Amino acid sequence: MTRPRRYRALVTAATATAFTLLPAVPAHADAIRDQQWGLEALHTDRAWQTTKGEGITVAVLDTGVDDSHPDLEGQVLPGKDLIGFGAGRGDRSWALHGTAMAGIIAGRGNGPGRGDGVLGVAPGAKILPGRVILESNDPSRTKARESRGTALAEGIRWATDQGADVINLSLGDDSKSAHPEPSEDAAVQYALGKGVSVVASAGNSGEKGDRVSYPAAYPGVIAVAAVDKYGTHAAFSTRRWYATVSAPGVDIVVANPDRHYYIEWGTSAASAFVSGAVALVRAAHPDLSPAQIKTLLAQTARDSPSNGRDDARGYGMADPAAAIEAGAELRRDPAGAGSAAAGHREQYFGPGPAPERQDEDPADWLAPAAGGLGAVLLALAVVLWRGGNTAPRRNNTFATGITGRR
């Protein structure tokens, strides 16, 4: 497929796969909360002794967010649709992935004492939704890929200007022709320069060549790899130089606009967990810069690789509680603060891609590509419903979720 030059094509984040819907009844706590292993893995109970993210805004640039979902009601700020067409509220291909990510970040649960539903990493934070991609089962996806290729870069700048403290990008292009897009890179640097932390999925091409994924590979981004509940690197998670930390990305319970709950996997979820973690750190230490926060996450990560870091898991599992504690010490130590602020001195903090020639025609950046698996690959597996202690499993296919150039 061809498309107008100088545009980046945006594909979906996630789509429902083959499964049978069960009655849309409230999910009981023992069927949802007991399976949210990611909260324990990130030591959220310790971090919540300091803050739950109050006063922090996390922009979720994705497929849209259902602000009426019981787990998110009152948490979602007015957003913006940077696509301008496609499925709308109530359609089966609207806001599936974005709602799932928002729930991981700032879900508050529902029901008596908010004991039911999904609880997020930073339940006190607010969500700023920006629609920059369409679901893969949206009939308008092809049109969006051809005409709204600048939506992601626009969305990053919009979220920054709207006062976001953190931008979550559970999306990416890790197709065979993936390459830096100047407008997106510039937008990321704009956000960082305004004090906004940018978090992105490392990619899901771990079993398909570990292809570089953007926006994860842009300088300054906190790129997140996925691990399972045992802390083991997930086979699908891309291994690359830009991995900063890892987070839960396997068997993750997520909310859906249809009021059911699903179990998914992917570095999308891992990115959302870390965006919630960053929100906690920002709430505890609002004066820290994006570079300082990124350094704190790296320095305080748990279960680090034997040599301190590797491409599979970065510096280890993100630990917001430890980062909050270290942040307090950093603020008391001006020398340490200066060191952290320096961050990574290399443009790509490692053996990254060679810079493009400045005299190149910008259109040459946009080589045609078939859509590969992207950073937001998620397997939508099963519906969790009242009375179940564990989630029954079904064979399923996973959804592609990329921003692939066409």
Residue 298 lies in a domain: yes
Rounded Cα distance between 392 and 98, Å, is 24
pLDDT of residue 35: 93
Q: Which residues of the chain have pLDDT under 70?
A: 1-30, 331-406
**Residue 61 β-bridge partners:** 130
Residue 160 lies in a domain: yes
pLDDT of residue 338: 40
Instruction: Please identify which of the residues 62, 138, 173, 185 carries the catalytic annotation.
Output: 62
Residue 262 lies in a domain: yes
Residue 357 lies in a domain: no
pLDDT of residue 160: 98
Torsion of CA 69, 66, 135, 15, to 10 degrees: 0
Residue 356 lies in a domain: no
Residue 71 lies in a domain: yes
pLDDT of residue 291: 97
**Residue 384 β-bridge partners:** 261
Give 135-179 as a 3 state SS string: CCCCCCHHHHHHHCCCHHHHHHHHHHHCCCCEEEECCCECCCCCC
Give the predicted TM-score (pTM) of the model: 0.81
Tokens encoding 358: 């400045």
- Tracing tokens 């490392």 back to the chain, one arrives at 202
Instruction: Please identify which of the residues 28, 69, 97, 285 carries the catalytic annotation.
Output: 97
- Residues spanned by the domain of 154: 29-345+369-384
In the annotation, is 62 catalytic? yes
pLDDT of residue 149: 85
Instruction: Please identify which of the residues 147, 268, 271, 304 carries the catalytic annotation.
Output: 268
Residue 330 lies in a domain: yes
Question: Is residue 87 within 8 Å of 135, Cβ to Cβ?
Answer: yes
CATH number of the domain residue 106 falls in: 3.40.50.200
Question: Is residue 378 within 8 Å of 104, Cβ to Cβ?
Answer: no
Rounded Cα distance between 144 and 135, Å, is 10
Rounded Cα distance between 60 and 132, Å, is 10
Question: Is residue 36 within 8 Å of 391, Cβ to Cβ?
Answer: no
Rounded Cα distance between 296 and 105, Å, is 19
Question: Is residue 275 within 8 Å of 57, Cβ to Cβ?
Answer: no
Residue 5 lies in a domain: no
If one counts the domains in the chain, the total is 1
In the annotation, is 268 catalytic? yes
Which residues touch 195 (CB under 8 Å, ≥6 apart)?
165, 289, 290
Rounded Cα distance between 108 and 70, Å, is 8
pLDDT of residue 30: 52
